[in-house]
A = this chain, B = another copy of it.
Amino acid sequence: MPLTRIPSGIPGLDEMIEGGFPFPSVILVAGSAGTGKTTFGLKFLCEGAANHEQGLYITTLSEPTQWMLRFASQLDFMRPEYFGEEIQYLDLGAKMRDMTSAQLLEAIEEKIAEVIPQRIVIDPITVFGTMLKGDYRSFLFDITTRLKNWNATTVLTGEVSPGEMYPAEIAYAVDAIVLLLQSEEAGTRRKYLEIIKMRGTNHQSGKQSIDITGANGITVLKARF
């Protein structure tokens, strides 16, 4: 019985992965600063919203909702009418300072139980490493376990340092790893997407050139077969 799949929202990506992300599954999207992780996550939610799927965007940055919306609204695909409707919002950043990791897990699950999303984004998951310190690895173990009990595909974004491929501390626990890469070539920065693993999926391997614009988000430029 083939896996159920949902479109990723990234033009050119679904052809690389047998038609879309497994549903349900937990996907890690990793990259250094400025590689388009948030754009990836928002497009993933908007794709669902356009198909009347419920989405949940969990941010770990602590910033006013208006601040976030002001920047997100520069993305042409990010329709304001989705927000608060097809795309619900949970600001975990504001809560992170005063909560234990158990309370954080509970807050996430409470929101999921309330929204019943088919698509979830936690952006970025790596901030927990900054704030939880000692408990971080256990927390990653627990949160991926919990997410696998819901009927949703979750995108976890992971911010890495330049030169680091992906946050190794969570790689073993996710069902798929998608890298967003940039490298300097002939004085300019080229951007790439690469799928490192995807359970149950004969995925294309190797780096694929991508384009990132405010109009279309991320597009996989040429998929080699």
- Which chain A residues have a beta carbon within 8 Å of chain B's beta carbons? 1-3, 22, 24, 32-34, 38, 61-64, 67, 70-74, 93-94, 96-97, 124, 126-127, 130-131, 137-138, 141-142, 144-145, 148-149, 159, 161-162, 165-166, 168-169, 171-173, 175, 177, 184, 187-189, 194, 196-202, 205-207, 213-214, 224
Contacts and interface: CB of A to CB of B under 8 A. Distances in A.
A175 B34 CA distance: 10
A33 B197 contact: yes
Given A126-B172, A177-B33, A202 B206 contact: no
Nearest to A138: B131
B189 A205 contact: yes
A109 B191 CA distance: 39
A206 B187 contact: yes
A3 B33 contact: no
Contacts of A169: 130
Contacts of A74: 2-3, 199-201
Contact of A188 (B32, B172, B187, B206): B206
Given A127-B172, A206-B184, A70 B166 contact: no
A24 to B, nearest CB: 8
A216 to B, nearest CB: 11
B73 A1 contact: yes
A172 to B, nearest CB: 5
Contact of A131 (B67, B137, B177, B200): B137
Given A1-B73, A33-B166, A196-B34, A141 B131 contact: yes
B189 A206 contact: yes
A205 B188 contact: yes
A159 B130 contact: no
Contacts of A97: 138, 141-142
A174 to B, nearest CB: 9
A1 to B, nearest CB: 7
